[in-house]
Structure 1
Amino acid sequence: MSLSLTFACIWALIANVLAMTPSKDHHWRNAYILVAVGIPILGYIVVQHGPWVGLLVLAAGCSVLRWPVIYLGRWLRRGGRKTPAE
């Protein structure tokens, strides 16, 4: 297995361990850290293996971090505006 895919597997293992730990902020701090670490790993995978493998790993990462992706989609549908309650 290549180094980039090894990093992706370690990232997924750490993400699953973090999901099992208790958190006061509903794991948002962990999600920000995982996204910040995962984006360079995803870029490294695309460089080594091409865009199709990169898309598969991106889909796997989105399934792990589904709530940040859902909130990003809602924000984009609003056009990037804040809601009146905020």
Structure 2
Amino acid sequence: MSLPVVLSCLWVLAAALVALLPMRRQFAPGFVLLAMVPVLIVWLAVTYGVWAGVAILAVFVSMFRRPLIYLAKRAMGRVPPRPSGDDGA
């Protein structure tokens, strides 16, 4: 196995562990995981091809859709309410 694949597997395990934390404790480690993703996606796309990079990007957007929507709203100047963590999802 190549190094980017091993690091990606470790990233997935870390993301799963962060998901087990209470919502109020997910922000800091979740932000770190969110910041690491572009490097991993580009590295995997260079190693395995553009289509692999597109597939990985689709998986990432699906996994982090709510934080990405929140950050997009903040970037557009609309400040959405902070998630309460009890949405039942």
Count of equivalent residues? 80
Mapped contact 2:18–2:30 kept (Cα < 8 A): no
Q: Partners in 2 of 1:28 and 1:49 — Cα distance?
A: 31
Mapped contact 1:42–1:58 kept (Cα < 8 A): yes
Moved over 4 A (4+): none
Q: Over aligned residues, Cα RMSD in angstroms?
A: 2.4
Please, what TM-score do these two structures have when normalized by structure 1? 0.72
Mapping of residues 6-45 of structure 1, within 5 Å: 6-25=6-25, 27-45=26-44
Q: Partners in 1 of 2:22 and 2:67 — Cα distance?
A: 18
2:76 aligned to 72, 76, 80, which one? 80
Shift of 1:80: 1.9
Secondary structure of the 2:77 match is coil
Mapped contact 1:15–1:34 kept (Cα < 8 A): yes
Shift of 1:72: 4.0
- Structure with larger RCO (C-alpha < 8 A, sep 6+): 1
Please, what TM-score do these two structures have when normalized by structure 2? 0.70
Secondary structure of the 2:24 match is coil
Percent of residue pairs bearing the same amino acid type: 29
Mapped contact 2:41–2:56 kept (Cα < 8 A): yes
2:49 is aligned to 50
